[in-house]
Amino acid sequence: MKIYFAGSIRGGREDWTLYREIINVLGDYGMVLTEHIGNSELAVTGEDLEDKYIHDRDLSWLRTCDVLVAEVTTPSLGVGYEIGKATEWGKPVLCLFRIGTGRSLSAMIAGGVGVTVRKYEDAASVRAIADEFLKGQER
């Protein structure tokens, strides 16, 4: 299974360690195409690559993936865009929203057709959510 993981980069990198932990969990279910999202050296400015290159590369990965898993606690225009494209293309989408942060989830995500939203407390609680969602996607 090819898994596209989405998490905030330019919207804020304060959760990069959490992303890394989630990516490690997802790796038990398949190949995570976007492991770099959990890299400590990835700054809020993103990769040192042209924006068009990143856009085209990431959409190519998204097109080839079997499922999108997005951590949506930190609002991100890019993550929202990826979720929109994935639902448009009929990809299964799992959005993870961490409770207890004082943030609210966008209605455009929470109410999206084709989007499964699961609230969680910490990276350890993601395993059960991933297990339920990803095992249901196996072909």
Q: Which residues of the chain have pLDDT under 50?
A: none
pLDDT value of position 103: 93
97 in Cβ contact with 117 (< 8 Å):
yes
Query: Which domain, by its residues, includes 23?
Result: 2-135
What's the domain count of the chain?
A: 1
- Residue 51 backbone phi and psi in degrees, to 5: -55, -45
pLDDT, tens digit (0-9, with 9 covering 90-100), for 20-45 = 999 999 999 999 998 887 777 766 66
CATH code of the domain in which 101 resides: 3.40.50.450
pLDDT value of position 106: 93
pLDDT value of position 37: 79
Render the burial of 48-87: b for 16+ CB within 10 Å, e for the rest.
Answer: eeeeeeeeeebeeebeebbbbbbbbbbebebbbebbebbb
